[in-house]
Amino acid sequence: MADLLTIADLDVAYSGRPAVRGVSLTLRRGEILGLVGESGSGKTSLCSAITGVLPAGASVRAAGLRFDGRELTELSHEEMRRLRASRIGLVPQRPMTSLSPSSPVLRQLRWYHDGPDLADLLGQVGLRAVIDRPRDHPHRFSGGQLQRLLIVLAALARKPDLLIADEPTTTLDATVQAQVLRLLLDLRDRLGLAMLYVTHDLAVVAQICDRVGVMYAGRLVESGTVDQIFTAPRHPYTRALLAALPGRTEPGRRLGTIPGDARARSAGCAFAPRCPDAFARCGEEEPMPITIGADVVRCHRAEEDA
């Protein structure tokens, strides 16, 4: 599979305070990459840097940000914004804020996609109700129905190459979540979309992702195939995440809590104060990323093992 997105050494900061630090990542066409890590680890900031939608006061710096063969850092701000806007779909977390409350859902949908296949498409994702009730406004539909609708919209409106979904199923019950996941997989197969899927739920990762990126304190500490991450995690933080997850393949299991103070930092590895495997060097020197095949890990211990 060809590379669609290559991020090299990306930093994001808010008013000078780092939120994403030196992240390098590759996403291939048709691939679903799950992004996990505890709250505040920089997942949304990473997504925002890719879509180019950041709040005032935020700064982005990267050695490279290559999308479909074009170096985005060489484009003007406006060119970059337009390119991303047309090629990258974003599934927002809260559906109600993305639809106008004062206009029928079907009419809003037709603004974006008015093809003859619309009814068929909606039927396939269990949204016939939108066709059957053409005059109903958003508040007449359930949160799950609207969430699925927004995924269809994000994927179909502009036929993007990349779909970024930032925790799209956290507010949904298990049945609706399963429908949304099936829909995402179907769209990937049908449109060849690549997907960046942010979640707290490792069971979801196991279900739909090809690869996983694990973030800690703004760093991508490990990436690998789903198989690699679940069966032979290399980073102690990844191992702690999995260990904190009872019955890890049960649906609906979320990231557990891991011991130690999440805010404690050292001059070296950010995870060192909580790491059961830390040794002297870990508290003094930041580990550099070690590449193992297509995977990466940032850990002195793994470096010694390699």
Ligand X SMILES: Nc1ncnc2c1ncn2[C@@H]1O[C@H](COP(=O)(O)OP(=O)(O)OP(=O)(O)O)[C@@H](O)[C@H]1O
**Buried b / exposed e across 186-209, counting CB within 10 Å, b at 16+?**
ebbeeeebbbbbbbbbbbbbbbbb
User: Choosing among Mg ion, ligand X, none, which partner's interface includes residue 230 (Cβ < 5 to 8 Å by kind)?
Assistant: none
User: Choosing among Mg ion, ligand X, none, which partner's interface includes residue 19 (Cβ < 5 to 8 Å by kind)?
Assistant: ligand X
Give me the least distance between CB of 290 and Mg ion, in Å please.
27
Of residues 41, 44, 223, 238, which one binds Mg ion by CB under 5 A?
Answer: 44
Query: Which residue, 17 or 77, has its beta carbon nearer to Mg ion?
Result: 17
Please report, as a single letter, which amino acid is at residue 61: R
Give me the least distance between CB of 37 and Mg ion, in Å please.
9
Query: Which residue, 57 or 115, has its beta carbon nearer to ligand X?
Result: 57
Q: What are phi and psi of 22, to 5 degrees?
A: 60, 40
Single out the residue of 75, 100, 99 nearest to residue 86, CA to CA. 75
Q: How many residues of this chain bind Mg ion (CB under 5 A)?
A: 2
Please report, as a single letter, which amino acid is at residue 299: C
User: Choosing among ligand X, Mg ion, none, which partner's interface includes residue 21 (Cβ < 5 to 8 Å by kind)?
Assistant: none
Give me the least distance between CB of 215 and ligand X, in Å please.
7
Give me the least distance between CB of 49 and Mg ion, in Å please.
13
Alpha-helical segments (H) within 98-172: 105-112, 118-124, 128-132, 143-156
Query: Which residue, 37 or 160, has its beta carbon nearer to ligand X?
Result: 37
Single out the residue of 254, 234, 235 nearest to residue 246, CA to CA. 254
Instruction: Round to whole Å and give the CA distance between 220 and 218.
Output: 7
Select from 25-33, 41-49, 99-107, 236-244 the region that touches Mg ion (CB under 5 A): 41-49
| Site residues (vs ligand X, CB under 6 A) | 14, 19, 37, 39-45, 55
